[in-house]
Structure formats: C-alpha cells, structure tokens
Amino acid sequence: MDFGKYKYEQNKKLQKARKKQHVTHLKEVKLRPKIEEHDYTFKVNHGRRFLELHDKVKFTVTFRGREMAHTDAGFRLLERVVKDLEEVGQVENAARLEGRNLVLLMVPRSTVQKPPERKPAPAGRAASAGAGKPVGAAKVKSGSAAKAQSTGAAKAPSTPGATATKPPVSRS
C-alpha cells in the first residue's frame, strides 16, 4: 500500500470519529425558592431536555434578602427536582450552599459508568474450586498463636534465653 493511500484512510477514520463524538456541555437552570408551579415545570422540563441530550445540568436556587433565613425551602425544591428527573439523570454533586446560591449538579443516566455485574459461578465449578486446596489449609488456629498472627506479633523464639525484641538500631 502506498503512503498517500494510508494517509487518506487515516484521515477518513478521524473524520468518522469526530462525527460520532459528543461534547458534554454544562447547562444551568436558575430557580428561586418562591417559584410557581407552571414556572417550576417549565424549568424542570428544560433540565430534562438537557439531560436527554447528554449534557450536565446545574440547578441553582438564588436567595435574596430574608430568604437566606429559609434555605430549607431551597433544599426541598432541589429534592423535588431530583425526584422529578430521577429517570433521566442522577446527582453528581449534592445540593450545597455557596454564598447566596444553592447548587446541585446532575448528569445524564446513560453516561454514568456502572460497575460490571459479576455473574455467580455455576454450581459445578463452586464445588470443584475447593478441591485444589490442601486438606489442612482451612483449619482455624486457636489460642495465642492465632492472636500473635492476627496482631502481627512475632512468634516466641525457639532458643532458650533469646528475646523477641528487635535489635537496637544505631543512629550515627
């Protein structure tokens, strides 16, 4: 294959890769603690649309004046937002107060990495897994030997008159 053809194919691969990728943006939805029902559903639906388009959404509740004394209303509002959007998104950063703003960050559910599920071993393998161990390997130690091993203490010396302490370290 000649070098020009190779470069052409590499360029085409890069173009295809760029075409398929999606850059995640951070969108912000601003709320107030005393929000009417229609305004709330309108803003939450915007958040839902952003999450469905695989963008992160930052919900901000802004407090003014005496509203700062009632931040619990803002926390309840954001809990309601999370409950309404739980099927399309999940919380990345829980609601926290930053000055006069209460901030919550949600990410789309499809982009959240789930740990792989481990399937249980078939019944035939579970029985044969223990067959490779020596017979006395599973015995439980008793008494001071078990205590010394679990605490990491050294065994008692076998020679009479020897001590179980470490030799002194010279510091020169």
For 109-132, what is the mean pLDDT?
58
Residue 15 lies inside a defined structural domain of this protein: no
Residue 112 above 70 pLDDT? Answer: no
Residue 66 lies inside a defined structural domain of this protein: yes
Q: Which of 78, 21, 16 minimizes the C-alpha distance to 54? A: 21
Residue 171 above 70 pLDDT? Answer: yes
Looking at the chain, how many residues does it have?
172
Residue 74 is given by DSSP the state H
> Is 0.95 surpassed by the pTM of this model?
no
In three-state secondary structure terms, 58 is strand
Residue 125 lies inside a defined structural domain of this protein: no
Residue 28 above 70 pLDDT? Answer: yes
Tell how far CA 31 is from the center of its chain: 27
By percentage, how much of the chain surpasses pLDDT 70? 65
Residue 107 lies inside a defined structural domain of this protein: yes
CA distance 128 to 126: 6
Residue 72 lies inside a defined structural domain of this protein: yes
Give the confidence band of 140 by pLDDT, cuts at 50, 70, 90: low
Domain total of the chain? 1
Residue 147 lies inside a defined structural domain of this protein: no
Residue 78 lies inside a defined structural domain of this protein: yes
Domain that holds residue 102: 25-111
Residue 59 lies inside a defined structural domain of this protein: yes
